[in-house]
Amino acid sequence: MIRAPSVVGVVASACLLTADVTWLAVTQPPALNLLAAWFLALALAGAFLPGPANQVTIARAHLAGPALVYSLVPSRLLELAAVVSLAGLSDVVDGTVARRWGGGPSRLGGGLDPVVDGVFFGAVAIGLAVGGAYPGWLALVVVARYGLPALVGTILVLAARRPALEHTPMGQASTALIGLLLGGVALLRGLGWPSDALLGIAEVVVPLAALATFANLFWANRPALIGR
C-alpha cells in the first residue's frame, strides 16, 4: 500500500528544499545539477515520511551535500566542521522529538536513522579522504560501519525475517565518536592547527567502534540471523 504524503512531510520538505536551493544559489558549488537532483529526490521522499522526528532525521541527508562539497576543499574545512556539528545536533534532537511529539521511537525511524547517518558520515569521510585530510582506508571503515548493517538488514527483510530496527547503545556511541573525530579533524585542519594526534586516535578508535557495533548488532539481531 502506497502511503499518502503527510502534511508534516510536505511542509518540512518544502522548508528543507528552500534551504537547499538558497545554499546552491549562494555557493554555486561544483556538480550543481547533481546536487540539485539529490535535494529534489530527498524532498520528494521526505514528503511521504510521517512525523516531525523523521523530518529532523532526513535533514542530515540534505546536509550530506554541503558536507561533501566542503570536505573536498582544505580551505572550507571550518564550514565542514559547522555542518558536522549541525548534523550531530539533529541526531540528538530527532530522538527527543520522537519521544515528545511522536509517541516514542518507531520502526521506520529506527531504520531510517542509521541509513541517513551512513549517507552523511560516508560523504564526509570520502570527501576528506579525496581531499587528502583522511586516510582512504579509514574512510572505507566509516562507509562499512553503516553500509554493512544496511546490507544485512536489507537481506533479512527480503528473506521475510524481522531485523531489530532500533538503536543499539554501541551504535549510538560509535556514531557519536565518528562525528566527533571527523568534525574534530576538520576543525583543527581548518584552523591550521596540527591534527596528527587526533587523526591517530581516529585510526584506532573508529575501527574498534565499528567492530563493537557489528558485534552489538549481531547480538541484537541473532534471532533473525539464525532463523528463529
pLDDT tens string for the chain (228 positions)? 457 888 999 999 999 999 999 999 999 999 999 999 999 999 999 999 988 999 999 999 999 999 999 999 999 999 999 999 999 999 888 878 877 776 556 777 778 888 999 999 999 999 999 999 999 999 999 999 999 998 888 888 888 888 876 667 788 889 999 999 999 999 999 999 999 999 999 999 999 999 999 999 998 888 888 865
Number of H helices, E strands in the chain: 9, 0
For 112, the domain range is 60-225
Please answer whether residues 110 and 57 qualify as being in contact, where contact means their C-beta atoms are separated by less than 8 angstroms: no
Please answer whether residues 30 and 36 qualify as being in contact, where contact means their C-beta atoms are separated by less than 8 angstroms: no
Q: Which three cell numbers stand for residue 23?
A: 545554499
Between CA 30 and CA 117 the distance in angstroms is: 23
Asked if the structure places residue 163 within a domain, the reply is yes
Question: For residue 197, what is the domain's CATH number?
Answer: 1.20.120
> Which of these, 88, 94, 91, 109, lies nearest to 182 by C-alpha position?
88
- Alpha carbon 221 to chain centroid distance? 21
Place of cell 571550518: 78
Please answer whether residues 67 and 80 qualify as being in contact, where contact means their C-beta atoms are separated by less than 8 angstroms: yes
Asked if the structure places residue 76 within a domain, the reply is yes
Asked if the structure places residue 123 within a domain, the reply is yes
Asked if the structure places residue 27 within a domain, the reply is no
